[in-house]
Homo-oligomer: A and B are copies of this chain.
């Protein structure tokens, strides 16, 4: 499984969990302990949010718990079900688009759910786990399955587990699994004076 350790080619060095984190589709049979899941969810809980709204909620299903897991798996789009059926844990993040204190629209509700899930995923990485986040979920089915109140909205799915082997995946997914991770150069992401003009910070690194 060493070939599935895909360190981000980062200079200068960054947090080890950032370098190691990527989104596999293959997971081993090894179950994830409740303590480890609790640590991941606690890490999410302590993310920043506007007015400390904590707009995030999570629904969690472990594979050992067959009935719950089947319910969760059905809430993924068919393509994701093909590989996620072997993930030890499935979660959904759910957010609140309006402020709890006055019902007005919260312009950063989804951003804040992302902050929480980002901490969740890095905590998983610190524990030797991998997470694959998914936009491909069945929003209305999630709402119905978990009786989600109208003031909340499903955001994303997250599969979590120990890493498996690319060969164990359905054939369609194997090639992508061993591809290197790639990103835009920093000079196309970070600007100073105006759009499209990299600042000193991005220029000096060249990528």
Contacts and interface: CB of A to CB of B under 8 A. Distances in A.
A141 interface: no
A156 B45 CA distance: 20
Contacts of A60: 190-192, 199, 201
A84 interface: no
Q: How many chain copies?
A: 2
A105 to B, nearest CB: 11
A70 interface: no
A143 to B, nearest CB: 10
B186 A41 contact: yes
A126 B15 contact: yes
Contacts of A58: 189-191
Interface of A: 8, 10-15, 17-19, 21-23, 34-35, 37-39, 41-48, 50, 52, 54, 56-61, 68, 93, 106-108, 110-119, 121-123, 126, 133, 135, 145-149, 152, 155-156, 181-184, 186, 189-195, 199-202, 204-205
A10 B46 contact: yes
Interface of A is mostly: mixed
Contact of A114 (B43, B54, B110, B182): B110
Given A12-B42, A48-B133, 10 more contacts: A12-B35, A15-B122, A34-B204, A45-B183, A52-B183, A59-B191, A68-B193, A108-B156, A114-B117, A115-B121
Nearest to A14: B43
A123 B52 contact: no
Contact of A110 (B93, B110, B118, B195): B110
7 residue pairs, one from A and one from B, having the closest CB atoms = A114-B114, A118-B118, A111-B114, A110-B110, A50-B135, A115-B118, A14-B43
A112 B123 CA distance: 17
A181 to B, nearest CB: 7
Contact of A56 (B39, B108, B110, B189): B189
A156 B133 CA distance: 22
A122 B120 CA distance: 12
